[in-house]
Structure 1
Amino acid sequence: MWFRIAGVPHHVRVEGSGPLCVLSAGLGLTWFDWDPVVPLLAPHRTVVRFDRPGHGLSAPALVPPSAVGEGHRIAAVVRALGPAADLAAGAGTGVTVVGHSIAGFHVEAFARLHPSMTAGVVLVDSSVEEDARTPAAPALRTAAAAVAGGALGAVGVPAAVGPTARRLAVRSARTGGGDPAPRDLVRRCYGTTRVLRGALLENAHYRAVAAELLALRERRPLPAGVPVTVLAASAGGPRWLARQQRLAAVLGARFHEVRPAGHLLMLDRPDAVARAVLDGGSAGRGQPLA
């Protein structure tokens, strides 16, 4: 299905039944990167996946990304479902939001901005920035991303190498196996200048979004009593795991190292992601999920 949010057509998939769960993928990824997780959740949850502007099948962005903007975007996607969302969520149960990589910033922002809508937060090998500062000249960064995307698109780079680059990137971010995504969908998304521009735009504003989230933490607390779970991939190594543990401490979250797993944890260990959602993080703090 499609919803127009802030003037941009968004591609949205809804499956299953029960309380709402929204899955948001990392930079440059799409709705189908959650495919292994959905069958594990759909018998128990209404699973909502959406493509951010310039990602997957959604239309290009009209404005640069921001932490607040992405938090409100998730809320707008949920509200766009209308009465179906109210029925699925149930009276007062809210939504569990799951964010991978950079989308960890987005779902945390959602929880801080929309506490009454939030039932739980799961961060899946989330991006972490302990001391991010807003870079200068954001307009120049936006323009540079647009120019680079346009120039590469004009000479056919996305169509020529986009799908192959996607598959190589996925393979390198896993502990084993290649890219399980259907080839036709990979070509449809990654062979386009639109998706290349979307990824470049998010990358250009990554630091700004991280800095904005740090400021938001100072102003807006996480909703009291809402479980937060941090899942960290073992392949990140000791330093990465230590940073993820510190993130969990800052958020008052439960921390779980997932092994074996690479950064694309939802492909390597969909069972661990589903367990974190369904258990509400009730497993013991720090317990490895093997």
Structure 2
Amino acid sequence: MTFVRVGGVPHHVVVEGAGPVVVLSAGLGMSWFDWDPVVPLLAPHHTVVRFDRPGHGLSGPAAVAPTGAGEAHRIAGILDALGFAEPVTVVGHSIAGFHAEAFARLYPARTAGLVLVDSSIEERARPPVAPALRLAFARAAGAVLCRAGVPAALGPSARRGMVRASRAGGGDPAPRDVVRRCYRTSRVLRGMLLENTRYHAVAAELLSLRGQFGLPPVPVTVLAGGAGGPTWIHRQRALASTLAATFQLAPGAGHLVMLDSPGEVARAVRP
């Protein structure tokens, strides 16, 4: 466990294993430990890098509102800070699928592979109106909720409920003391609100990047959770077609594929 400073923000990073580098980035409101079931399957063959985005896990609060290009630059900055110059396989879950794809498009020479794990999909996203007003409202809402003590009172239980609802079965396997350490903080609530508020803007930005920058000629895999239902699986297949990617299904897995089917995630990284 270490901290590296990127864009003036201390980022919590965990590096394990040896071999070709794999970067794991979790979805909205998730933390480094949500990849715990996957790491033992990858670390014997790969150097596995996990990091918390600003306002998530143990990283510092966000200094600026997130953008697609900004998140791609963040991944590159973390790799630079760690001294990893070789091409990497970048794995993005949920909203971090936007970030991982943006990285592959903006840093093709640094990309060895791309894996999208039950990635967010917005086929016709448009930049939202009044983005500054939306951000101001999100920050104000965060301030009100934090002053009311909501993170300390409800943060860990809300996290556990979110995990249960996002899995095909089972509860939250994360250690309770670690969950309390992260989710009782105002930092995490504010970070989640910022990312959620910027969701459609980042989705629209990614569609623009697709029109400007191609993907490098590397393996690309779209891994979908089978519990998402026929419509969701169809959209994931369509995403794979759009990206000329391999489609892979994790039968019975919920949105948190890394918890329900860690072996499928590992197989997508190293088929």
Question: TM bucket by the smaller chain?
Answer: over 0.9
Distance in 1 of aligned mates of 2:128 and 2:190 = 20
Name the structure 1 match of 2:36: 35
Out of 227, 234, 237, which is 1:245 matched to? 237
Shift of 1:172: 0.9
Out of 235, 240, 250, which is 2:227 matched to? 235
Task: Work out the percentage of aligned pairs sharing the same amino acid.
Answer: 68
Where do 1:251-270 residues align within 5 Å?
251-270=243-262
Out of 142, 150, 157, which is 1:149 matched to? 142
Check the 8 A contact 2:101/2:114 in 1, yes or no: yes
Distance in 2 of aligned mates of 1:98 and 1:173 = 19
Distance in 2 of aligned mates of 1:133 and 1:98 = 25
Long gaps (5+) in structure 2: none
Name the structure 2 match of 1:65: 66
Name the structure 1 match of 2:78: 77
Distance in 2 of aligned mates of 1:106 and 1:72 = 9
Shift of 1:268: 0.2
Tell whether 2:159 aligns with 1:166: yes
Name the structure 2 match of 1:122: 115
Paired AA for residue 203 in structure 1: N
Distance in 1 of aligned mates of 2:147 and 2:199 = 25
Name the structure 2 match of 1:96: 89
Name the structure 2 match of 1:286: none
1:197-226 per-residue CA deviation (whole Å, 9 max, x = no partner) reads 0000000000000000000000000012x0
Distance in 1 of aligned mates of 2:132 and 2:139 = 11
Distance in 1 of aligned mates of 2:226 and 2:269 = 19
> Matched residue of 1:36: which SS?
coil
Shift of 1:176: 1.1
Name the structure 2 match of 1:284: none
> Matched residue of 2:19: which SS?
coil
Name the structure 2 match of 1:288: none
Long gaps (5+) in structure 1: 280-290
TM-score calculated relative to the size of structure 1: 0.92
Name the structure 2 match of 1:202: 195
Cα-Cα RMSD: 0.7
Name the structure 2 match of 1:282: none
Tell whether 2:207 aligns with 1:214: yes
Name the structure 1 match of 2:17: 16
1:56-101 per-residue CA deviation (whole Å, 9 max, x = no partner) reads 111111111000000111111111111xx24xx4xxxx10000000
TM-score calculated relative to the size of structure 2: 0.98
1:219-269 per-residue CA deviation (whole Å, 9 max, x = no partner) reads 000012x01000001111000000001100000000011111000000000
Between 1:123-132 and 1:145-154, the stretch displaced more is 145-154
> Matched residue of 1:274: which SS?
helix
Report the count of equivalent residues: 270
Paired AA for residue 17 in structure 1: A
Check the 8 A contact 2:22/2:91 in 1, yes or no: yes
Out of 128, 135, 138, which is 1:135 matched to? 128
> Matched residue of 2:224: which SS?
strand
Shift of 1:105: 0.2
> Matched residue of 1:231: which SS?
strand
Shift of 1:139: 1.3
Name the structure 2 match of 1:25: 26
Paired AA for residue 71 in structure 2: E
Distance in 2 of aligned mates of 1:64 and 1:138 = 10
